[in-house]
Amino acid sequence: MTGPLLKVENLTKHYQLDRGFLRKSGPLVRAVEDVSFSVETGETLCIVGESGCGKSTVARLLMRIVEPTGGRVLVDGADITSLKRHELRPYRRRMQMVFQDPYSSLNPRLTAGQIITEPVENFEHLNRAERRALAADLLQKVGMSPEMMHRLPSEFSGGQRQRLGIARALALQPPLIIADEAVSALDVSVQAQILNLLMDLQQQLGIAFVFISHDLSVVEHIGHRVAVMYLGRIVELAPSEAFFAKPVHPYAEALIAAAPVPDPTRVRLQVPVEGEVPSPINPPTGCAFHPRCPLAVERCRVEVPRLVPMPDGRAAACHVRAPATDVTDQRGISVAGSSAFAIERQNLSIGIR
Amino acid sequence: MFAGAGLLALLIALSLAAPLFSGDPQNMDPFKRLQPPSTELWLGSDNLGRDVFARTVFGARISLLVGLISAAGAAFGGLLIGVMAGYSRQFDNIVMRVMDGLMSIPTILLAIALVSLTGPGIGILIVAITVPQIPTVARLVRSVVLGVRERPYVEAAVCGGARLPKVLWRHILPSTIPPLMVQSANVCANAILIEAGLSFLGAGVPPMIPSWGNMIASSRLYLAIAPLTVFAPGICLAVTVLAINLLGDGLRDLFDPRSKRRR
């Protein structure tokens, strides 16, 4: 296949807030701003960031649950942002999503079997036996017993429900799965089970993941590459190992420093980051991070930094750490796939935090 | 709930079986006017010498017919409009304004206007009672649909490649059924009362067809002489409405997950 499995170019989503009955247009919320990246077959790209930085919106834009304001999403080289709703259906087979909340993302009135086989039944007719066989197979894939197919979602635990969500996403055997905070609602031991399940499935079936999370330990565990988002923009995009060894962008640095580490002897990097995340309604000029950045210089207040590629395969948007040397009109860059960075993942067991 | 359902079933059975055990409700006998109850006339007779028991039993047919058909009609119409309004914003803007307009017309006035246009008849009566009930049902269904369509499991169904009719039918409609059932019971009770009111005013069923409303209307002058001519249909009306409301309350408890402690 030529080109990446998924390519995102300058994806942007603005929400226009209503100001009430006079219909005067309210403030503009810049949820996602000029986001570009690509995902290769079989790799895991993690998108991390604080609450409200736009990472879930990116996931919803990829699935076209919400319509983008600008930019393109290319699946197998075909632009899906310009398609009509019904033309989108064939691409549903290429890309599936695991939802954040295992409680509200399963229809409480359908049985587990009905839920997980539904995507397949949207595309082909199954008879009773085929449906049962498919449900049993999917349940086994996610480590559940086939007898459970007749139960309702309310009869399952949170971890089991999340497995059902994953089974549903697997049903169409898509080469790409978007997981929006797929483990955040679960406790740590169940998180580890689900993460290991996802990694096993990736090895067996060669599935690529876009894995959205706010939890860096999870990201370190499963990510091949990491994209850090801040106020709707990607500020750093780097191979996982390099990223965790030495982040480039000061925000990424602060994020890693702030993550709890289960090692009392390890000396924590002290990165002073003050203040709150600014509102996406009225983002700061220039680099959105400059009001909180210890390194900020005059240029950061004026000019929005581009994502600049660096020699070791990373890219960062920072005037100080990654100054743009050449002036090209290419605004967002997409770093080549991580096949070059096929990192040997440490096979961590439970206790990833 | 079982009391309500049982009573209602009994009433329906009695009204259907009426010809088997009661006399002719139309038969007038000038020599037996305003008779007290006797073995021949169980509840006495009215001012035209008609059998009050027979008229009450046959009157139940009208009340139940109007109530059930109006409830079914309003539920169906409201469901259709509510689901479409909940799913399409354009449709919502237009149709819900029409519904607002419809809600501002008093039911009785609309019914009188319609009946005076076409002349009295059961069909037009049912239409006149059903149409003003549709907006409340549509509003209810719309609000449920608006709430449910944003649920992640509906988004998940769309992401799974489900077509719109399937999303509506499998994931959205089932959630509207419980409140719809409860509301239909209300509509049914309402419709029976409105029918009685309209018949009382003379704008309801034609006078020769016995209905609880026109029975009360025609006998009210003789309340002091033959109280049963008014009380028999009046009590039946009250019991029927009570039965339906009990059923509605029971349905609500049954569908409300918070009240599943009993049973």
Please check whether residue B181 touches A, CB under 8 A. no
> Hey, are the CB atoms on B152 and A93 less than 8 Å from each other?
no
pLDDT at residue A312, rounded to an integer: 81
For residue A178, which phi and psi values (nearest 5 degrees)? -100, 120
Per-residue confidence (pLDDT) for residue A226, from 0 to 100: 94
Interchain pair B160, A99: CB under 8 A: no
Buried/exposed code over B81-113 (b: 16+ C-beta within 10 A; e: otherwise): bbbbbbbeeeebeebbeebeebbeeebbebbbe
Q: Give B93 to chain A, closest Cα distance, Å.
A: 14
Q: What token pair was written down for A127?
A: 């008879």
What is the distance in angstroms between the Cα of B70 and the nearest Cα belonging to chain A?
29
pLDDT in tens, B179-188: 998 899 989 9
Which residues are within 8 A (CB) of A274 and not within 5 positions of it... i.e. 6 or more apart? A292
Give the model's pLDDT for residue A272. 62
**Cα dihedral B250, B256, B259, B263 in deg (nearest 10):** 60
Which residue, A247, A206, A252, A254, is CA-closest to A229?
A: A252
What is the model's pLDDT at position A334?
39
In chain B, which residue's Cα lies nearest the Cα of A89? Answer: B161
Q: Is B162:B170 a contact under the CB 8 Å cutoff?
A: yes
The count of CB pairs under 8 A between chains A and B is: 56
Predicted pLDDT of residue A24:
63
- Among A98, A103, A48, smallest CA distance to A222 is for A48
At A321, is the secondary structure helix, strand, or coil? Answer: coil
Closest CA to A180 of A290, A95, A292: A95
Residue of chain B nearest A119, judged by CA positions = B160
Sort out which chain B residues have CB atoms less than 8 A from A92's CB and list them: 159-161
pLDDT band at residue A351 under the 50/70/90 scheme = very low
Query: Is B147 near chain A, with CB under 8 Å?
Result: no
Q: What is the average per-residue pLDDT within A125-147?
A: 93
Residues of A in contact with B176 (CB under 8 A): none
Instruction: Indicate the residue of A92, A108, A109 with minimum beta-carbon distance to B160.
Output: A92
HSE-CB at A115 with a 13 A cutoff on CA atoms is 31
Grade residue A352 by pLDDT with cuts at 50, 70 and 90.
very low
- Please check whether residue B59 is in contact with residue B239, taking contact to mean a CB–CB distance below 8 angstroms: no
- Mean pLDDT computed over B161-177: 90
DSSP state of A209: E
Asked if A97 and B163 come within 8 Å (Cβ–Cβ), the reply is no
pLDDT of residue B257: 61
**pLDDT surpassing 80 at residue A332:** no
Give the three-class secondary structure for B232: helix
pLDDT confidence tier of residue A45, bands split at 50, 70 and 90:
very high
d(CA A18, CA A25): 6
Q: What was the pLDDT predicted at A267?
A: 62
**What distance in Å separates residue A320's CA from the closest CA in chain B?**
41
- What is the amino acid identity at position B44? G
Tokens of A106: 């399963």
Find chain B residues with C-beta within 8 A of A97's C-beta. Answer: 156, 159
> Looking at beta carbons, which residues of chain B come within 8 Å of A65?
155, 158-159
- Comparing alpha-carbon positions, the chain B residue that sits nearest to A66 is B155
d(CA B116, CA B135): 23
Per residue in A256-310, pLDDT tens? 888 777 776 766 556 567 777 788 888 888 888 888 888 888 888 888 898 888 8
Residue A22: how many other CB atoms lie within 10 Å = 6
More confident residue, B75 or B256: B75
The SS3 call for residue A35 is strand
Count Cβ neighbours within 10 Å for each residue of B17-53 and write b for 16 or more, e otherwise. Answer: ebeeebbebeeeeeebbbbeeeeebbbbbbeebbbbb
Q: Specify the pLDDT at position A349.
A: 33
In B, minimum Cα distance to A63 occurs at: B159
Two tokens, residue A215: 């939890």
Residue A105 is nearest to which of B156, B162, B166, comparing CB atoms?
Answer: B156
| DSSP letter assigned to residue A305 | P
pLDDT band at B235; cut points 50, 70, 90 = very high
Mean pLDDT for all residues in chain B: 86
Q: Tell me if chain A has a CB within 8 Å of the CB of B123.
A: no
pLDDT score recorded for residue A353? 35
Give pLDDT, residue A269: 57
Average pLDDT of span A42-60: 91
Tell which of B159, B168, B176 to mutate to test the A interface (max A CBs under 10 Å): B159
**Residue A325: its pLDDT value, please?**
64
pTM: 0.78
Please tell me the predicted confidence (pLDDT) of residue A28. 84
Say whether A93 and B170 touch across the interface (CB within 8 A): no
Average pLDDT over residues B67-78: 94
Looking at A115-119, A166-170, A302-306, which range is the least confident one?
A302-306
pLDDT surpasses 70 at B261: no
Percent of chain B with pLDDT over 90: 29
Q: What is the pLDDT of residue A23?
A: 61
Interface probe for A, chosen from B153, B169, B173 (most Cβ of A below 10 Å), is B153
On average, the pLDDT of chain A sits at: 84
DSSP letter at B221 equals: G
ipTM of the complex: 0.80
- Report the alpha-carbon distance of residue A170 to residue A176 in Å, rounded: 10
Are B157 and A118 inside 8 Å of each other by CB?
A: yes
Q: Report d(CA A307, CA A55) in Å as an integer.
A: 17
| Out of A97, A107, A171, closest to residue B153 by CB | A107
Q: Does B257 touch chain A (CB under 8 A)?
A: no
A200-214, B102-116, B155-169: lowest mean pLDDT where?
Answer: B102-116
Which chain A residue lies closest to B175 (C-alpha atoms)?
A109
Classify residue B83 by its DSSP letter.
H
CB of B171 within 8 Å of any CB in chain A?
A: yes
Helix (H) or strand (E) holding A229: strand A225-230
Q: Could you tell me which chain A residue has the CA closest to the CA of B153?
A: A105
The model's pLDDT over A123-132, given as tens digits with 9 standing for 90+, comes to 999 999 999 9
pLDDT tens track for A83-93:
888 888 889 99
Residue B23: pLDDT band with limits 50, 70, 90: confident
Give the DSSP per-residue string, A231-252: TTEEEEEEEHHHHHH---SHHH
Q: Which two tokens stand for residue A339?
A: 């096949």
Contacts A117 to B, Cβ<8 Å: none
Say what the alpha-carbon torsion angle A191, A195, A198, A200 is, to the nearest 10 degrees.
Answer: -130
Residues of A in contact with B260 (CB under 8 A): none
Residues A91-103 have pLDDT tens digits of: 999 999 999 888 8
Facing residue for A104 by CB, picked from B151, B159, B170: B151
